[in-house]
A and B are shown apart, each in its own frame.
Chain A
Amino acid sequence: MTSHIDGIQIWMLAPELSVVLLGFLVLGLDLITHNRRVVAATALIGLLIPLGFTLSLVVKQDALTPDHTAFFHMLVVDGYALFFQFLFLVIGFGVLLVSYGYVEKFLRVTIGEYYSIILLSLAGMMLMASTGELISVYISLELTSIPLYILAGLSRSDTRSAEAAVKYVLLGAMSSAILLYGMALLYGATGTTDLTEIARNTQAALSSGNLVLLAADVFIFTGFGFKISAVPFHMWAPDIYEGAPTPSTLFFSVGSKAAGFAALLRVFIFGGLAAISGGTYLWVMVAIVAAVTMTLGNVVALLQTNIKRMMAYSSIGQAGYLLVGFAAIMISNSPAGNLGILAFLAVYVVTNIGAFTGIIGLADATGKENIRDFDGLGRRAPFIAAGMGLCLLSLAGIPPMAGFWGKLFILLTAWNQGSALTWLVVLGLINSAISIVYYANVVWRMFVAEPEKRDRLAMSGSVTLTMAVAVVGILALTIAFGFLLTGLGGGAGGLFPTATTP
């Protein structure tokens, strides 16, 4: 461990640092110029800088500090962190691009303000994946969440948006408090806030059957449960998703969820809590939450008439599949479960961006967001409808789409954990079948149902471009899913503490 901060450590922080600076730049640029194109282009092209830094860190991993940590163990730049940094930059690029037209029409802020808030939240998400210390995890979480509360309430003259913001801020603040209480108990039980040392100390603490440690685990899982909208903490997620402006909803459904999982896995695996859970039956709680989450998400999604509410319940269902992978980690501390979650998240992010691009495109052109408004979209906007259909089929897990492989891998991992999780895998397959109904319903409406109007819809360039990128991304992930697994293997396995001998 280096004793003081030097250039290498600053370089390791460079991706997050440059995103924050880009946020400031965009906010400032918005004051000088009223040209929306200039501001948007600066933000989008500027995102290449953090991307370059992340890639430089990937390539030059040997040049980093020996244990890949900086700032006194608080920043951890391992393969896992770099994967999430890349994923969040993709999310940022997608959200910024797709919201270009929407912001001017429906929001009461300028493009620069909207973009800067998203960028600052993005920096928080990147930090959530790469901090190795409890205080930093909490502060990064707040840097992520506070902009999200604001993003929920920005619709022009729409009371539903303000309601969504109130519900989001109350729920988010409460979940932060619960998470913090868990962290306090963890600090008390282990005597440190450094996750590496926590991993060391939990081994000793468990042998004496420490209930405080168990309570800390439950509180921390609950706190993150709100962020990833797991049942029973999903209560207001559909309201928030429906009321918030659609690009913000997209950002919640991919960014907030991926960040929640990034930090959850970081604290539980890197912090050594997963290693001890096999003997504590904590995995039973996770498995039950996973089962209820995916079942409730998928069943209630069947009943929705609003597309954003449907996507909210769909994303709750997808969180359920991800939690199946988490249950597999909890039961036997298996790196395969972590690999499954990372691969599933990568696919989920790209497909969800594509699906929401279709929703934003329709809202942009007509201002409508009910499922029946998608009637005949295949004829009114063929490319957007085709891309959105592709994404929905991937979300449903129809072979041979990327979503199918992701789901298959995560369920196989759970299956390999032995008979304890068999029921969960079967339930996952049943849910997958249920989910086909509501995803296929939208596809059927777009391509078969007779529309009320037959006029061609003019889609904005940013929506078409985002859809094109998402479609290319899905096709690439479908073809190269095997490569994705190989590429992520090191990052997923590297998160587990090496000294696990009790």
Chain B
Amino acid sequence: MPLNAYLIVGALLFTIGAAGVLVRRNPLVMFMSIELMLNAVNLSFMAFAHFLDSVDGWMFVFLVLTVAAAEVVVGLAIIVAIFRTRREIDVDELNTLKG
């Protein structure tokens, strides 16, 4: 398969994720959409690494996986914490602060 095929799949995945963040109002689904974007990034890195014949891209993916998992932990902890204080987690409902 040519490099471009992988990159196009990555680009589609990235924009679907971006659309999800912009369109959905539930923080959890927005978080899942961000995970889609990160997977698109990883996919592009892996494709580039393969066609460049360099392991640097692998390294990037490996560390992104690690750090993104840490981000998920903190993000979900925060989302669960806000649900304890109020029983609604729609971003549009988070309007104690005006946008």
Contacts of B67 in A (CB 8 A): 138-139, 142
B42-99 with Cβ < 8 A to chain A: 44-45, 47-48, 52, 54, 56-57, 59-60, 63-64, 67, 70-71, 74-75, 78-79, 81-82, 85-86, 89, 91, 94, 96-99
**Bound form: Cα–Cα A287–B49 in Å:** 34
Which of B17, B18, B34 is most buried by chain A, counting CB atoms within 10 A of its CB?
B34
- A153 CB–B CB distance under 8 Å: yes
B52 to chain A, nearest CB (A): 5
A140 to chain B, nearest CB (A): 10
Contacts of B57 in A (CB 8 A): 187
Chain B interfacial residues counted at CB < 8 A: 44
**Bound form: Cα–Cα A356–B55 in Å:** 47
Q: Is the CB of B31 within 8 A of A187?
A: no
A181-B37, A191-B54 are contacts. A163–B63 as well, Cβ < 8 Å?
Answer: no
Which of A142, A162, A193 is most buried by chain B, counting CB atoms within 10 A of its CB?
A162
B1-55 with Cβ < 8 A to chain A: 7, 10, 14, 17-18, 21, 27, 30-31, 34, 37-38, 40-41, 44-45, 47-48, 52, 54
Contacts of B71 in A (CB 8 A): 142, 146, 169, 173, 176
**Bound form: Cα–Cα A178–B97 in Å:** 26
**Bound form: Cα–Cα A235–B10 in Å:** 27
A180-B38, A191-B54 are contacts. A173–B44 as well, Cβ < 8 Å?
Answer: no
Q: Is the CB of A153 within 8 A of B78?
A: yes
Contacts of B94 in A (CB 8 A): 163, 166-167
B61 to chain A, nearest CB (A): 10
A459 to chain B, nearest CB (A): 28
Q: Is the CB of B97 within 8 A of A135?
A: no
- A449 CB–B CB distance under 8 Å: no
- A282 CB–B CB distance under 8 Å: no
Q: Is the CB of A180 within 8 A of B64?
A: yes
Q: Is the CB of A159 within 8 A of B85?
A: yes
**Bound form: Cα–Cα A236–B45 in Å:** 30
- A150 CB–B CB distance under 8 Å: yes
Task: Classify chain A's interface size.
Answer: 35 or more
A148 to chain B, nearest CB (A): 10
* Dominant secondary structure at the A interface: helix
A150-B74, A165-B78 are contacts. A239–B97 as well, Cβ < 8 Å?
Answer: yes
Q: For residue B14, which residue of chain A has the nearest CB? A: A181
A7 to chain B, nearest CB (A): 26
Q: For residue A181, which residue of chain B has the nearest CB? A: B41
Q: Is the CB of B74 within 8 A of A166?
A: no
A165-B78, A180-B38, A191-B52 are contacts. A170–B27 as well, Cβ < 8 Å?
Answer: yes
Q: Is the CB of B41 within 8 A of A177?
A: yes
- A160 CB–B CB distance under 8 Å: yes
- A49 CB–B CB distance under 8 Å: no
- A164 CB–B CB distance under 8 Å: yes
- A90 CB–B CB distance under 8 Å: no
**Bound form: Cα–Cα A187–B82 in Å:** 38
Q: Is the CB of A164 within 8 A of B48?
A: no
**Bound form: Cα–Cα A177–B15 in Å:** 11
Contacts of A157 in B (CB 8 A): 85
Q: Is the CB of A160 within 8 A of B37?
A: no
**Bound form: Cα–Cα A159–B27 in Å:** 16
**Bound form: Cα–Cα A163–B90 in Å:** 11
B32 to chain A, nearest CB (A): 11
Q: For residue B78, which residue of chain A has the nearest CB? A: A165
The one of B17, B41, B75, B79 in contact with A184, judged by C-beta atoms closer than 8 angstroms, is: B41
The one of B7, B40, B64, B96 in contact with A159, judged by C-beta atoms closer than 8 angstroms, is: B96
Q: Is the CB of B96 within 8 A of A170?
A: no
Contacts of B96 in A (CB 8 A): 159-160, 163, 243
A138-B64, A142-B67, A243-B97 are contacts. A163–B82 as well, Cβ < 8 Å?
Answer: yes
Q: Is the CB of B99 within 8 A of A170?
A: no
The one of B44, B48, B82 in contact with A166, judged by C-beta atoms closer than 8 angstroms, is: B82
Contacts of B52 in A (CB 8 A): 188, 191
Q: Identify 11 new A-B residue pairs, CB closer than 8 A, beyond the known A159-B82, A177-B14, A184-B45.
A: A146-B70, A146-B71, A149-B78, A166-B27, A166-B82, A169-B74, A170-B30, A174-B18, A181-B44, A187-B48, A192-B56
A-B contact pairs, 17 of them (CB 8 A): A135-B59, A138-B64, A142-B71, A146-B70, A146-B71, A157-B85, A164-B97, A166-B89, A169-B75, A169-B78, A170-B21, A170-B27, A173-B34, A177-B37, A184-B10, A188-B48, A243-B96
A interface residues with partner B (beta carbon < 8 Å): 134-135, 138-139, 142, 146, 149-150, 153, 157, 159-160, 162-167, 169-170, 173-174, 176-178, 180-181, 183-185, 187-188, 191-193, 235-236, 238-239, 242-243
The 6 closest A-B CB pairs, nearest first, are: A177-B37, A188-B48, A162-B82, A239-B97, A184-B44, A180-B41
